[in-house]
Structure 1
Amino acid sequence: MTPVFAHGSLRLYLLSLLAESPRHGYELIQALSDRFGGTYSPSAGTIYPRLAKLEEEGLVTKAAEGRKTVYAITDAGRAELAEREHELDAIEDEVTDSVRRLADEVRAGVNEAMRSLRADLASAARDASRGPRIDVRQEARDAGRDARQAANAAARDAEAALNEFRQQLRTDFRSQAARGDIPDGVVPQLKSELARVRASVLEALGRR
């Protein structure tokens, strides 16, 4: 932000405020804020060092009133103010220009903030109208992973079923062989049935 007061101008302006009436530091800050319509409010770090310098030069005095320190202009301060009255008129013009400039800066800042807000709202509205974004590639990867997991589970189940069938049939054949009673046509029938079952399964798998 552009400096509000030229070098040395704030010092003289503080004297003019104290010439109106004694004030404590906060009242001086408030008076300046009011003069600038709230667009500028000096900090305590700006005001108090200048008041201390004015006191050091004998242009103001300070006195404690309760917990507050009140500053008042001295005769020497009034004399300097009268001597530099033409400068004070120029400072008043500077203040008027500064108020106008600060108001323009504030207005520009507000306009820029409103433009940014409108852009953000428009972007949010577009995102809402499009709905949640879908990552097609991620969905494809997820679908492929799920399919592989299902196929692996089916393969395990098939292997378990085959192992159970083989174990049961082996037990049946060994028991029958122990009794010496396996008909001649059983083994060819077994091979034929196994070939038929395999062909049927391959057909279901699409691998004829």
Structure 2
Amino acid sequence: MTPLKSGTIDLILLSALREQPRYGLELAQHIGTRSGGLFELSEGSLYPALLRLNRAGLIEGEWHPTPGGGSPRKVYRLTDQGATELTRRRDEWQRLQTAVNALLGGRLA
């Protein structure tokens, strides 16, 4: 497991919600699977990040009943503002990645 910084968690969550709305545990599982198990989000980092993104207007949460009659789940979706912010943050991440790769001996794209 690799720890993630706050801004990186936000970028990853926004990206996962671009694909489809998801509830908290589903987000954590999706990120763990997509990263090959490298990133595992604990509840202590996941839910504060979701709250932060919600307060910023980048995502919205809505309670949905669970199949089989269990407790309702809060399902999060990306807002239009969140989609715009995701594009901005992804572009910034890619510029940073290019610069770091150049410093490590890689080539600029």
TM-score range, shorter chain: 0.7 to 0.9
Matched, 1:84 2:89: yes
For normalisation by structure 2, the TM-score amounts to 0.73
Q: How many Å separate the matches in 2 of 1:92 and 1:65?
A: 38
Task: Give the conservation status (yes or no) of the 8 Å contact 2:4–2:39.
Answer: no
In structure 2, the partner of 1:35 is 34
Q: How many Å separate the matches in 1 of 2:10 and 2:86?
A: 11
In structure 2, the partner of 1:69 is 74
Task: Give the conservation status (yes or no) of the 8 Å contact 1:60–1:77.
Answer: yes
Mapping 1:59-138, distance limit 5 Å: 59-66=58-65, 67-89=72-94
More strand by share: 2
Count of residue pairs the alignment pairs up? 92
Q: Runs ≥4 in structure 1, deviation > 4 angstroms?
A: 90-93
Alpha-carbon distance, 1:84 to partner:
2.3
In structure 2, the partner of 1:52 is 51
CA RMSD of aligned residues (A): 2.3
Structure number with higher relative contact order (C-alpha < 8 Å, ≥ 6 residues apart): 2
In structure 1, the partner of 2:102 is none
Change (3 A) 1:42 1:55: same
Identity rate of aligned residues, in percent?
A: 37
Q: How many Å separate the matches in 1 of 2:21 and 2:84?
A: 16
Task: Give the conservation status (yes or no) of the 8 Å contact 1:13–1:88.
Answer: no
Task: Give the conservation status (yes or no) of the 8 Å contact 2:17–2:76.
Answer: yes
The structure with the largest alpha-carbon Rg is 1
Alpha-carbon distance, 1:90 to partner:
6.4
Q: How many Å separate the matches in 1 of 2:73 and 2:21?
A: 12
Q: How many Å separate the matches in 1 of 2:11 and 2:85?
A: 9
What is the letter of the counterpart of residue 55 of structure 2?
A: E
For normalisation by structure 1, the TM-score amounts to 0.40
Task: Give the conservation status (yes or no) of the 8 Å contact 1:18–1:73.
Answer: yes
Q: How many Å separate the matches in 2 of 1:92 and 1:6?
A: 15
Task: Report Cα offsets for 1:52-88 as digits up to 9, x if no partner.
Answer: 0100011100000011110000011011112222234
Change (3 A) 1:44 1:92: farther
More helix by share: 1
Matched, 1:11 2:10: yes
